[in-house]
Structure 1
Amino acid sequence: MQQKYQSERLGIEPIPKLLRNLSIPAMVGMFVMALYNIVDTIFISYAMGITAVAGLMISFPVLMIIMAISVAMGIGGASVISRRLGAKRENEANQVFGNIVTMIIIVSIIGIIGAFTILEPLLILFGATPDILGYSYDYMFPILLGTFLFSFGFATNSIVRSEGNARFSMNIMIISSVLNIILDAVFIFGLKMGISGAAYATLLSQGVVTVLLLRYFLTGRSSLTLSIADLKPKFAIIKEVFSVGLPGFMQQAAGGIMVISINAMLLRFGSEFHVGLFGIVQRISMFMLMPLVGIMQGMQPIVGYNFGANNFSRLKETVWLGLKSSTILSTGIFVVMMIFPKYFMILFSSDPEVIKAGSDAIRILFATAFFIGVPVVCGGIFQALGKVKESLILSMSRQILFLIPLVLTLPHLFGVNGVWLAFPIADGLSFALAAVLLYRNRKIILREDEIVEPLPYQEVVTSSAQ
């Protein structure tokens, strides 16, 4: 009964309370995960220098390929599952979950094969120079061997949130990150394993997360159940999951292409020093953006459930509250990053050159940070509604349509600073596009219908499209 209420409360509890209860755990979990990434980079920077951080950044696109597939399965599956639960189609929700697990297994086999065959050529293709190739390879080889652990953790944690259990999702992220930080210190400094120690620390922490998630799904704590029969692949389910998750995949894949482009331009107009500098600044950016991701993740199960339940008044209230909250937070991020960039850089290095160059880069990167909340939240809204085209356009806009062309163009005019300038311009353009898409879909998102008896899912989609 408790597991059933866990998802049904998405259509019952007051929206402010519900969004707070779902978003705050997501924020805390994401903060802790971002903190792990920061501490990981701090350890590598102090133990091996900024060249090792550059090696980490060169390998980052490979990791983002794994994350892109996992995010597609997780976000796509979470959207489909939350709408099935909202429409009271629990058996079909279980089938979706089983098919996601099957896809994770297939992806994991491909990752292991890739570790022994194409990893080194791939790193060279992504820009690894002789000085940093060793660092990149030593980090990514263990990561690829543990593809299943990463994919399962990323994908199923989104599914846990889709059924409204944000607190367990938060606990999982906290356990993973804290354990990772401890093991980082042991392997990098205690056992002198270098950058490969960071990889093995990550691998072991993800292994613990996988065990905890499997226990959650197999012991009746979830609204979902996992059976052998549900593992049988069904093309219709796989197609729906990936079509909904495609924007998330494209966003992560575009992030990989973006990092490759940035690394290439920094090496051309700067040096390996600037690639390492970008690695530090990028970690700081991830940490500051986590509250916005938390709001988006907290909104998604509420939006998806109430859309599936045909309760449009709650859908509208959720959207407005999410937009207001994200705008306030993004304005706060702008103020902090304009005033205190030096203090963030001091965490990573005592080198005055690194601190000065990093502080200047941060101020440029976050010059239009007050815009970033709306595109993040709107992307989550469209994903939760299953509106693939809008979500895909929005997820691709900042990186593919705006950021990458700017990164490849502006350095010819402004040198290394042109790379940093590309970010605030892309943020402003993404905000404008998000506002247009939100306005065009106002008849669905901003409906004020009274609650009615939930329609079958297909009828809900058809009537909403009309």
Structure 2
Amino acid sequence: MDAENLHYFEKAPITKAVAHFAVPMMLGMSMSVVYSILNAYFLGTLHNTAMLTALALTLPLFALIMALGNLICMGSGTFISRLLGEKQYDKIKQVSSFAVYASLLLGLIAIAAGLPLIDSIVHGLGATPDSFGFTKDYVTVMLIGSPVVVLCFTLENIVRSEGAAITSMIGMLISVVVNIALDALVIFVVHGDVTGVACATVAANLAACLFYLYHMGVKSPFLTISFKWFKATKEIVGSVLKIGIPVFVMSVFLGAMSLMLNHFLIEYGDRATAAYGISSRLLQFPEFILMGLCEGVVPLIAFSFTANRLRMKQAIGFTIKTIVLLASIFGVVVYLTSDHLIGLFTRDPQLIEMGSYILQVTFLSLFISGATALFTGIFQATGQGTAALVMAVIQGITLIPVLFIANSMYGFHGVVWSLVVADAVAFLVGGIMLLALRSKLQPDLESLVHG
């Protein structure tokens, strides 16, 4: 193994080790949110609410494509980190080769299944007559580009799983820079619309893929893209899917939740849907930073689970403290500037008011969602497939009845607050399962949970 990465896995002070793995992931994910926000910003300069609505309506589709990527990337990534702790280097090559080609296959399946049903998909997303054409254009491009997007998710994760956190971040930054540059070109030079923005997103993912493939094929001591190492053995497929299926289910539920929210919000007009689209993108910035922290430490937790469980406990404890600090800072900033943040995307006063309200309410659960992401990461890293599956479904199962009840009783306000309720239930369930599994994960974990 690379000596520097081995040092951070095994010997570096826990604060430096967590920073090494998490900070690049946090920066990379935050930048990916920046270009998601800029997509909305560039379209917002055209002053066409229907385009912003189309961008919001396609969030469930992107979540589904992300789910396909997560089906392979999360299971293979945590498996690779555990294999590093066990020093099974040949098997790592087999897993990485399997992950690459399985991801491409899933993307091709998405094209074959999605394109013939394109109109039905767009109607299912909740497109109105005004936004139907824009939504269809965006969906078409994203479906055609799904093999690239799925592969990008997988490559980023398995590169990070071998300890190459900086390399993982560089790939994400390449994607961000390419996307921003192409967005500006499409809107301000070519005078395009959502089709050009969607093409820019796919091209940015392709640029990152090429970088990751070069790293894996030339520089990585363990990962490979060579088909000769491809093996779909029962052990590899089972270990990957044991964690991948729960993450896939979680991503599908996230897409379904976003779809349901759009259907409920559309009852209150295009402004409500556009406001949710803008505020959710703004919320993604702190959410993805916390998610980057939690996902960034997963390789360290997975490695330590097979090599040094006391170090695993220390990493978890430090991460919890960092979540509390970051959530507090972001909360203060949002409550002081929410109107101004929404105002960056639109001049419509009603849209600003609705977006600011959604942003403030959903920010209430920022710490809860961060802690929930950490619980899920612990279960994934330690191979606890059943617990990870429960975490995947509980939020969606909770949101469905809450949405119907809250909408009937409190209307628009109830729809917005239902997100907070679903997050709180997932947090409680995750905490209970962590307590129940503490002896299996680490004999001393009880003191961490109670402390």
Scaled to the shorter chain, the TM-score interval is over 0.9
The corresponding residue for 1:332 is 329
The corresponding residue for 2:209 is 210
| Partner Cα distance (1:93, 1:391) in 2 | 23
Residue 437 of structure 1 aligns to which amino acid in structure 2? M
| Partner Cα distance (1:7, 1:198) in 2 | 40
The corresponding residue for 2:437 is 441
| Partner Cα distance (1:417, 1:444) in 2 | 42
| Partner Cα distance (2:331, 2:294) in 1 | 19
For 1:24-63, what aligned pairs fall within 5 Å after superposition? 24-63=23-62
| Partner Cα distance (1:145, 1:43) in 2 | 23
SS in 2 for 1:367: helix
Contact residue 78 and residue 159 of structure 1 kept, 8 A:
yes
Residue 404 of structure 2 aligns to which amino acid in structure 1? L
2:246 matches 1:285: no
Contact residue 313 and residue 447 of structure 1 kept, 8 A:
no
Deviation at 1:128, TM superposition (A): 1.9
Deviation at 1:108, TM superposition (A): 2.2
Counting aligned pairs with the same residue, the percent is 27
The corresponding residue for 1:407 is 403
Larger CA deviation: 419-428 vs 437-446: 437-446
* 1:384-428, Cα deviation, whole Å (9 max, x unpaired): 111011112123222x12223222221111111111111222222
Larger CA deviation: 243-252 vs 232-241: 232-241
Residue 23 of structure 1 aligns to which amino acid in structure 2? A
2:271 matches 1:273: yes
Residue 277 of structure 2 aligns to which amino acid in structure 1? G
The corresponding residue for 1:240 is 239
TM-score (norm 2): 0.94
Deviation at 1:158, TM superposition (A): 0.7
Count of residues paired in the alignment: 445
| Partner Cα distance (1:375, 1:420) in 2 | 20
The corresponding residue for 1:132 is 131
2:144 matches 1:145: yes
| Partner Cα distance (2:7, 2:76) in 1 | 18
* 1:415-460, Cα deviation, whole Å (9 max, x unpaired): 11111111222222222222212211222344359xxxxxxxxxxx
TM-score (norm 1): 0.91
The corresponding residue for 1:90 is 89
The corresponding residue for 1:154 is 153
Deviation at 1:296, TM superposition (A): 0.7
| Partner Cα distance (1:109, 1:435) in 2 | 38
The corresponding residue for 1:463 is none
Residue 332 of structure 1 aligns to which amino acid in structure 2? I
Contact residue 155 and residue 209 of structure 2 kept, 8 A:
no
The corresponding residue for 1:377 is 374
* 1:180-234, Cα deviation, whole Å (9 max, x unpaired): 0110011122112211010111121111111111110110335323322222433
Deviation at 1:5, TM superposition (A): 4.9
For 1:450-465, what aligned pairs fall within 5 Å after superposition? none
SS in 1 for 2:27: helix
Deviation at 1:115, TM superposition (A): 4.8
| Partner Cα distance (1:48, 1:341) in 2 | 20
SS in 1 for 2:131: helix
Deviation at 1:36, TM superposition (A): 0.4
* 1:27-58, Cα deviation, whole Å (9 max, x unpaired): 11111100000010111122252221211222
The corresponding residue for 1:67 is 66
Deviation at 1:368, TM superposition (A): 3.7
The corresponding residue for 2:256 is 257
2:312 matches 1:308: no
SS in 2 for 1:374: helix
Deviation at 1:4, TM superposition (A): 5.8
The corresponding residue for 1:424 is 420
| Partner Cα distance (1:439, 1:336) in 2 | 33
Contact residue 114 and residue 144 of structure 1 kept, 8 A:
no
Contact residue 50 and residue 277 of structure 1 kept, 8 A:
no
* 1:259-290, Cα deviation, whole Å (9 max, x unpaired): 1111111123x012211111101101111212
RMSD value, Cα: 1.8
The corresponding residue for 2:391 is 394
